[in-house]
Amino acid sequence: MTRKLFGTDGVRGTANAFPMTAEMALMIGAAAGRYFRRERAGVHRVVIGKDTRLSGYMFENALTAGLTSTGMSVLLLGPVPTPAVGLLTPAMRADLGIMISASHNPADDNGIKFFGPDGFKLSDEVEAEIEALVEAGVQPAQAHNIGRAKRIDDGRFRYMERVKSTLPHGMRLDGMKVVVDCANGAAYRTAPEVLWELGADVIPVGTSPNGLNINANCGSTRPQAAAEAVVAHGADVGICLDGDADRIILIDETGTIADGDQIMALMAARWAEEQRLHEGTLVATVMSNLGLERFLESRGLRLQRTKVGDRYVVEAMRAHGWNLGGEQSGHIVMTDYATTGDGLMAGLQFLCEMVRTGQPASDLARNFAPVPQLLKNVRFGADKAPLEAASVQGAIAEAEAALTGKGRLLIRKSGTEPLIRVMAECEDEALLAQVVDGIVAEVQAAV
């Protein structure tokens, strides 16, 4: 069936517009409840977390209504990072975990992410079955089988203890000055508290959410404010999280920004030295820089690429037993510790290397020279299919021919926003700009 609701990471869109309406959230909740409850006897639980968006209240209530109508008991965590839902779903013996968040998107957007009873995100096949149930309609439970709902007060603290436990026993951050930008999002209390409890001198940024300022000029997609804070306070390092804290961007002591590729390079090399990197393989998406691939090859390691989306990275990791992966955008997945990307956990691993080696962040965050990469986005209407236009296909073919033996080209539709993403890599920066701008112009003409 054609998927109308689910994208690369659950359901996402502008609040109070299809598919992110209260009515649709109720229907999705009922469908998910029916799918996971089936006709089995016993108590069935679902864990729900959210970020700090104003619309989170609406979707939390709508999902709860839908889920309880099919007999699911709902455990409400309140604002917590996405990885906390992945952790607490199996820990609380829940059948399902739900995170209400649009991640790095603006405050007007929201989304619904699903985790199975094992704490991992649902497969495309399961999402398709839930979507089919939404379309078919769900028979509610009998009155005496309606589920209950209650608040869980200690979920955040349980998650914090889990994050701290990933550091080597006895390791502290005493004497380290750390800027942490929480994007006015889900980790606005969690991240500063974890760093402080580990001994760091914490300089918080983006920790005053008001429901409308999540990701607004802060966080992993807007790290300039944190970079300025690092330099102004003479901090050792900066950690930038996104709205639901499942991704990270690092800032060294000079204010220079390092993306997920550099973090993964450091971790892969270190884990390989310790013989912890399963089969010498790092999993990343097609967006990761060619420089990362060359860095790994020079050390006898391998980069396994997947399509874009941390869910697909995790699926490949689980299928082959690999334990480290992520995305250039900052999702870092360590299945030894977590079921999904965890920005704070990855940040602690970086700080651990600073403590262990005594090296500054600037040395540890510059592991390879990136091949020049250019990414441009073109927004399009829901009724348009610009990639099917003959003029666009012709421009893509010409660009591929021009880059043969010199670089690579990637054109794709975003799974979370109505965008066409045009990305290319090439040592010749003039050629790089030429091919990307040429395709962007044709896509813009088509929309």
Give the orientation angle of helix 22-37 with respect to helix 124-136, to 10 degrees: 110
Residues annotated as binding site?
Answer: 103, 242, 244, 246
**Cβ atoms of residues 446 and 413 within 8 Å:** no
Known binding-site positions for Mg(2+): 103, 242, 244, 246
Other Cβ atoms within 10 Å of 301 Cβ, number: 19
Nearest residue to 205 (alpha-carbon basis) of 178, 171, 236, 166: 178
Kindly report which listed range (77-81, 153-157, 260-264, 405-409) carries the lowest average pLDDT score. Answer: 405-409
Q: In the structure, what pLDDT confidence band is assigned to residue 40 with cuts at 50, 70 and 90?
A: low
pLDDT at 164: 97
Using DSSP's 3-state secondary structure scheme, residue 294 falls into helix
What is the C-alpha to C-alpha distance for residues 246 and 160, in angstroms, rounded to an integer? Answer: 14
Of 374, 375, 367, 403, nearest in space to 292 by CA: 367
Measured in degrees and rounded to the nearest 5, phi and psi for residue 26 equal -60, -45
**Catalytic residue check, 103:** yes
Judged by phi (left if over 0) then psi (alpha if -120 to 50, else beta), residue 236 lies in alpha
Q: Is the peptide bond before 19 cis (omega within 30 degrees of 0)?
A: yes
Please check whether residue 96 is in contact with residue 28, taking contact to mean a CB–CB distance below 8 angstroms: no
pTM above 0.75, yes or no: yes
Closest among 238, 226, 239, 245 to 186, alpha carbons compared: 245
Q: Mind listing the pLDDT tens digit for each residue in 84-141?
A: 999 999 999 999 999 999 999 999 999 999 999 999 999 999 999 999 999 999 999 9
The reported pLDDT for the residue numbered 101 is 98
Phi and psi at 8, nearest 5°, equal -75, -15
Beta strands per DSSP E along 358-400: 373-379
Average pLDDT, the chain: 95
For 21-34, write each residue's pLDDT tens digit.
999 999 999 999 99
Q: What is the pLDDT of residue 1?
A: 47
> Above pLDDT 90, what percent of the chain?
90
DSSP per position, 125-176? HHHHHHHHHHHH--PPPPGGG---EEE-SSHHHHHHHHHHTTSPTT---TT-
**pLDDT value at 303 more than 80:** yes
pLDDT in tens, 342-379: 999 999 999 999 999 999 999 999 999 999 999 999 99
Q: How far is CA 286 from CA 42, 397, 402, in A?
A: 43, 19, 20
Which of 10-14, 183-187, 350-354, 414-418 shows the lowest mean pLDDT across its residues? 414-418
Q: How many CB atoms lie within 10 A of CB 1?
A: 8
Residue-level pLDDT at 41: 63
Q: What is the set of domains in the chain, with CATH numbers?
A: 6-153 (3.40.120.10), 159-243 (3.40.120.10), 260-364 (3.40.120.10), 373-446 (3.30.310.50)
Say if residue 38's pLDDT is above 80: no
- The mean per-residue pLDDT over the stretch 403-422 comes to 87
Q: Taking the CB of residue 81, how many other CB atoms lie within 10 A of it?
A: 34
78: enclosing H helix or E strand: strand 73-79
For 218-252, the pLDDT digits (tens) are: 999 999 999 999 999 999 999 999 999 999 999 99
Q: What is the pLDDT of residue 278?
A: 98
Q: What is the pLDDT of residues 139-163, one digit of tens each?
A: 999 999 999 999 999 999 999 999 9
**How are beta strands 73-79 and 149-151 bridged, if at all?**
parallel
Tens-place pLDDT, residues 162-190: 999 999 999 999 999 999 999 999 999 99
Contact criterion met (CB below 8 Å) for 200 and 176: yes
- The structure tokens 């651990």 sit at 352
Q: Which of 69, 101, 103, 329 is catalytic?
A: 103
Q: What is the pLDDT of residues 109-121, one digit of tens each?
A: 999 999 999 999 9
Place of tokens 């690999």: 322
Would you list the DSSP string of 320-335? HT--EEE-TTS-EEET
Is the model's pLDDT at 315 over the cut of 60?
Answer: yes
C-alpha to C-alpha distance for 91 and 158, rounded to whole angstroms: 10
Find the radius of gyration of the CA atoms of the chain: 22
**Helix, strand, coil percentages, rounded to 5, for the chain:** 40, 20, 40
